[in-house]
Amino acid sequence: MTKYLVIVESPTKEKTLKKILGSNYTIKSSRGHLIDLPKTKLGIDVENNFRPEYVVIPKQRRALKELEKNTKGKERVFLATDPDREGEAIAWHIAQKLKVNEGKNRVIFNEITERAVSQAFKNPREINLNMVNSQKARRLLDRLVGYKISPLLWKKIGKKLSAGRVQSVTLRLICDREEEIGKFKIEEYWTINASFKKIEDEKAEPFEAKLFSVNSKKATIKTKKEATEICEEVKNQNIYVKSINKKKESKNPQPSFTTSTLQQDAYNKLNFPIKKTMFVAQQLYEGITLGNKGNIGLITYMRTDSIRVSDEAKSEAKKYIEEHYGKDFAKSSQNLKKGKNKIKNVKIQDAHESIRPSYVFNHPESIKKYLTNDQYKLYSLIWQRFIASRMKAAYLEKITIDIESGRYIFRTFGYRILFKGYMILSGQNNQDLNKIPDLEEKDELKLLKIKANQSFTKPPPRYTEASLVKRLEKEGIGRPSTYVPTISTLQYRTYVEKVDKKFRPTELGITVNSFLIQYFSDIVNIAFTAKMEKQLDEIESDKKKWENVLDIFYRAFSNDLKKGNKAPKIKIPEIESDEICDKCGRKMLIKNGRFGKFLACSGFPICKNTKPFLDKIGISCPEEGCSGEIIRKKTKKGRTFYGCSNYPKCSFVTWNKPVDKKCPQCNHILVLSKNKKSGFYYKCSNPACDYKDFIKGHKK
């Protein structure tokens, strides 16, 4: 019989830890929380100092019995749940249930490697009750908001609605942005670009510059007439180089990833939804089988808002950089200087490290064959960001050239690399940067071409997953572990929908948001929500008592509940469609459901007829003999695709948006696609045809 029992959260860790710890240890997982508040009632005794009524989660009863069984006969039980507040709370609940809450039995490690795990088991500690209390306060706050406001929404607006402390303020951000877009006034403006060449040198290459100022003031051109007059005036003037300014600049690498910056980068560079990013990161953290090496955790813990790096990891990175790039490129192993916290009202949870490779010599290419494509992509992103963060800054020379033509100044600029620093990782060199012509001050120039371009001001963009996470982090709303469930809930409740990967509030979402603003202004107040996060941090650092935080919150909250209960019932605006109900002849209404829009009879509840909503894009199905139309559809995961309205009789389907154009090579329909470097282009929907046509003026 083994001597020790180790309890972890996830079953996938069992195999990895078993190999590290050896035959004296039995590894069992709790599979997440075992204890929680009851689902069927509030579960908080508000009158008795907010005492929680904890119960065993029904589906976890078997897991708890298994742990109790494995505890028998063990010399010691170690609690190795995740190293965050949730993990600490899980450890505390298990300790209470298994009666192993005495002594030092809590072990934490930020990476699942032999050195980190061995070190953790040599230095176990007691359960941190301040962390437990902080998690308790968060859970009780969320339960009070959810279980008190949600029934009000059912009564005043409609069934199956919900509110949440972080969820509702996130909805407000999306609704506020939509309101900004609606109020935005589009204005016309013009820019002028010119192409020049040095007169004295026939071999000189032409270069472009942009109109920068007029009469020493920044150029602001509002009409075509004004732009045309400027172009004509420049054509008839002498042109020469007014000034050449050179300035040396350093370009620092970004720090290694936090949860939010990983989510943003993976979204922007890999097109990973944040839920997918966290799922793949979990796999990399818990362990990947690397041939004869067995199961190894490839990255540190993926829920963190710290950029701290251990001294051991710094030394390892320094060694790798010196061996592969040279001593000149390695940063000192000293700690990073602590800068100001850019996130409002948030104490950085510095107990964790940033997200980094657990062993930098596991180069992505050297282990690629053991990884799935998604694992390889995300690991490569993490590995490269960490190595870059441990390299010296790049030094550049910025060259700015001003060109004078009467009262007009045109400007062009570029860079020259003096020292590559971390930029060596991406292989950048001077050829990749904007080329600067070989010019001197007072050189005469010849105007080759001048062109005025019409543009229009654009409203602020709707939030993508990445930009929404960035805003939540900036405002101090939520924590790394809350971003995914918050965004998922907003979509599940159909408060928001995705249009071209951007969030747009539905009529239901706008209605709920308006109600909450009117009756629960604190709950949807950005500053108030961020302040609550700060207080949770202060509970963890023992500066505040969790009972006091809840008491102060609930006094104001209970008054808002009384006002909300007196609110009149709200009717959600109904959107009529052109469809007629084939059962009763009434108009069909466009409604929002869990998987998107659908049609429902306006005669409900007398007539309960529903039909799929066909989101037509105005293009006929290209399949020969088919009379259907192309419609926009969504997968269960929310990804947009295009198919025929006659499905399943017609199987035409494409991920790219079809356009009303035919391929000149094979006569199939064209679809719109996008290349990061070249912009939008048309390509043939026929996989066997390689036709492409790039669209001018639509570069990214």
Tell me: pLDDT of 336 over 80.
no
Check residue 674 and give its pLDDT: 77
List, in sequence order, every residue forming a beta bridge with 190; answer none if it has no partner. Answer: 221, 454
Tell me: pLDDT of 460 over 70.
yes
- Closest Cα to residue 214, out of 188, 233, 187? 233
Confidence label for 192 from pLDDT (cuts 50, 70 and 90): very high
Instruction: Look at residue 42 and tell me if it is in a domain.
Output: yes
Say if strands 496-499 and 51-52 run parallel, antiparallel, or are unpaired: unpaired
Q: Which residues are part of the catalytic machinery? A: 301
Instruction: Look at residue 525 and tell me if it is in a domain.
Output: yes
Burial profile 509-544: b = 16 or more Cβ within 10 angstroms, e = fewer: bbbbbebbbebbebbbbbeebbebbebbbbbbeeeb
Tokens of 292: 């004869």
Give residue 412's identity as a one-letter amino acid code: T
Confidence label for 131 from pLDDT (cuts 50, 70 and 90): very high
Torsion 557-563-565-567 (CA) sign:
negative
Check residue 685 and give its pLDDT: 82
Q: How many H-runs (helices) and E-runs (strands) does the chain carry?
A: 16, 30
The per-residue pLDDT of the chain, averaged, comes to 89
77 close to 121: Cβ distance less than 8 angstroms: no
Backbone angles phi, psi at 356, to 5 degrees: -150, 165
Instruction: Look at residue 428 and tell me if it is in a domain.
Output: yes
**Mean per-residue pLDDT, 575-593:** 82
Which helix (H) or strand (E) covers residue 661, if one does?
strand 657-662
- Sorted by sequence, the CB contacts under 8 Å of residue 558 that are 6+ apart come out as none
Rounded Cα distance, 526 and 173, in Å: 9
Q: Domain of 152?
A: 136-184+463-565
Q: What percent of the chain has pLDDT over 90?
A: 65
Same domain, 579 and 480: no
Q: How far, CA to CA in Å, does 378 sit from each of 305, 317, 369, 483, 631?
A: 18, 19, 14, 19, 33
Rounded Cα distance, 466 and 589, in Å: 33
Same domain, 363 and 317: yes
Among 27-41, 159-173, 569-583, the minimum mean pLDDT is found in 569-583
Tell me: pLDDT of 295 over 90.
no
- Count of domains for the chain: 5
Rounded Cα distance, 145 and 140, in Å: 9
**Mean per-residue pLDDT, 134-141:** 96
Tell me: pLDDT of 697 over 60.
no
- Sorted by sequence, the CB contacts under 8 Å of residue 319 that are 6+ apart come out as none
Tell me: pLDDT of 317 over 90.
yes
- Sorted by sequence, the CB contacts under 8 Å of residue 640 that are 6+ apart come out as 498, 500, 632, 633, 634
Q: Which of 612, 640, 668 is the last residue of a domain?
A: 612
Tell me: pLDDT of 636 over 70.
no
Same domain, 365 and 468: no
Q: DSSP per residue over 491-531, as a string? A: HHTTSEEEETTEEEE-HHHHHHHHHHHHH-TTTT-HHHHHH
Tell me: pLDDT of 699 over 70.
no
Which helix (H) or strand (E) covers residue 401, if one does?
strand 394-405
Q: Which of 429, 456, 483 is the last residue of a domain?
A: 456
Other CB atoms within a 10 A radius of the CB of residue 195 amount to 14
Check residue 197 and give its pLDDT: 93
Tell me: pLDDT of 344 over 60.
no
Q: DSSP per residue over 171-219, as a string? A: HHHHHHHHHHHHHPPP-EEEEEEEEEEESS-TTPPPEEEEEEEETTEE-
List, in sequence order, every residue forming a beta bridge with 596; answer none if it has no partner. Answer: 593
Same domain, 177 and 210: no
Same domain, 340 and 378: yes
Confidence label for 2 from pLDDT (cuts 50, 70 and 90): confident
Rounded Cα distance, 487 and 86, in Å: 19
Q: Classify residue 73 as left (phi > 0), alpha (psi -120 to 50) or beta.
A: left
Confidence label for 677 from pLDDT (cuts 50, 70 and 90): low
Q: Which of 456, 489, 505 is the last residue of a domain?
A: 456
User: For residue 362, what is the domain's CATH number?
Assistant: 1.10.290.10
Q: What is the pLDDT of residues 593-631, one digit of tens each?
A: 665 678 899 888 889 899 877 778 888 888 878 888 888
Same domain, 73 and 156: no
User: For residue 513, what is the domain's CATH number?
Assistant: 1.10.460.10
Rounded Cα distance, 56 and 96, in Å: 12
**Mean per-residue pLDDT, 22-26:** 92
Does residue 267 sit in helix, strand or coil? helix
Tell me: pLDDT of 470 over 90.
yes
Tokens of 161: 């609605």
**Mean per-residue pLDDT, 146-155:** 95
Rounded Cα distance, 71 and 7, in Å: 10
Instruction: Look at residue 470 and tell me if it is in a domain.
Output: yes
DSSP state of 84: S
Instruction: Look at residue 194 and tell me if it is in a domain.
Output: yes
**Mean per-residue pLDDT, 431-436:** 71
Give the relative orientation of helices 507-519 and 129-156 as an angle to the nearest 10 degrees.
Answer: 110
CA dihedral defined by 68, 74, 76, 81, rounded to 10 degrees?
-40
Rounded Cα distance, 165 and 523, in Å: 6
Same domain, 176 and 192: no
Same domain, 197 and 229: yes
**Mean per-residue pLDDT, 540-567:** 95
Check residue 448 and give its pLDDT: 95
Same domain, 303 and 375: yes
Check residue 696 and give its pLDDT: 52
**Mean per-residue pLDDT, 529-536:** 93
Among 257-271, 529-543, 682-696, the minimum mean pLDDT is found in 682-696
User: For residue 105, what is the domain's CATH number?
Assistant: 3.40.50.140
Same domain, 180 and 192: no
Q: What is the pLDDT of residues 175-185, one digit of tens each?
A: 999 999 999 99
User: For residue 234, what is the domain's CATH number?
Assistant: 2.70.20.10
Q: What is the pLDDT of residues 76-103, one digit of tens each?
A: 999 999 999 999 999 999 999 999 877 8
Instruction: Look at residue 658 and tell me if it is in a domain.
Output: no
Other CB atoms within a 10 A radius of the CB of residue 16 amount to 25
Instruction: Look at residue 260 and tell me if it is in a domain.
Output: no
Tell me: pLDDT of 462 over 70.
yes
**Mean per-residue pLDDT, 100-129:** 91
Q: How far is CA 13 from the centre of its chain?
A: 26
Same domain, 227 and 142: no
Say if strands 25-29 and 4-8 run parallel, antiparallel, or are unpaired: parallel
Among 10-14, 60-64, 219-223, 281-285, the minimum mean pLDDT is found in 10-14
| Bigger pLDDT: 415 vs 42 | 42
Instruction: Look at residue 548 and tell me if it is in a domain.
Output: yes
Rounded Cα distance, 402 and 410, in Å: 6
Same domain, 16 and 115: yes
